[in-house]
Copies of this chain bind each other. A is one copy, B any other.
């Protein structure tokens, strides 16, 4: 079976986990959306739904990170990067009827107390995001001592913004979170 079948399965599961969670998504639905035969699940993911879940978390977490890093790279400075990132998240939420948000938050909350291998996968992804933001803030002139705390706060604001905007079906929370994130980085520069 070609590798693009594996990619299609991962894309379908990422999209379904984001919208309806890990528990609410059946393997059959994933394979149907991926136009993949049932045998392909165990061919590519011998550990079944749990292995597919962990790989989906890692792949979609890394993809989201590359997206955010590209926004920062395109911005003239780190403050503009922060504003662009939250404004882009708000616009994506609005354009997708508040469905396209953090690729792993729903699963992260579902598995935090129920599935240790999947919890560790979400912890690794958030850890990578925080490390990348810490490096970016240090390069922009924030002291090493403050950069990590600031990175955690900015990721927390983005995640809180996703949650409140999805619940309210409004961009207001994401935009308010973005203003607070920009102010926090500005104060630390």
- Provide the residues of chain B in CB contact with A21, threshold 8 Å: 21, 23, 109-110
A91 interface residue (CB < 8 Å to B) = no
The residues of A with any CB-CB pair to B shorter than 8 Å are 19-21, 23-24, 97-99, 105-106, 108-110, 112-114, 119, 122-123, 126-127, 130, 148-150, 152-153, 155-161, 163-164, 166-169, 172-173, 176-177, 179-180, 183-184, 187
The one of B24, B123, B168 in contact with A23, judged by C-beta atoms closer than 8 angstroms, is B24
- Provide the residues of chain B in CB contact with A114, threshold 8 Å: 19-20, 24
The one of B97, B98, B176, B183 in contact with A156, judged by C-beta atoms closer than 8 angstroms, is B176
Given contacts A113-B19, A156-B161, A179-B149, contact A166 B108 (CB under 8 A): yes
- Provide the residues of chain B in CB contact with A183, threshold 8 Å: 184, 187
- Provide the residues of chain B in CB contact with A109, threshold 8 Å: 21, 105-106, 109, 163, 166
The reply to whether B126 and A98 form a contact with Cβ atoms under 8 Å apart is no
* Shortest distance from the beta carbon of A56 to any chain B beta carbon, whole Å: 15
The reply to whether A112 and B164 form a contact with Cβ atoms under 8 Å apart is no
The reply to whether B24 and A168 form a contact with Cβ atoms under 8 Å apart is no
The reply to whether B110 and A24 form a contact with Cβ atoms under 8 Å apart is yes
A113 to B179, CA, bound (A): 26
- Provide the residues of chain B in CB contact with A164, threshold 8 Å: 126, 130, 152, 155-156, 159
- Provide the residues of chain B in CB contact with A167, threshold 8 Å: 108, 112, 119, 122-123, 126
- Provide the residues of chain B in CB contact with A119, threshold 8 Å: 167, 169
The reply to whether B113 and A98 form a contact with Cβ atoms under 8 Å apart is yes
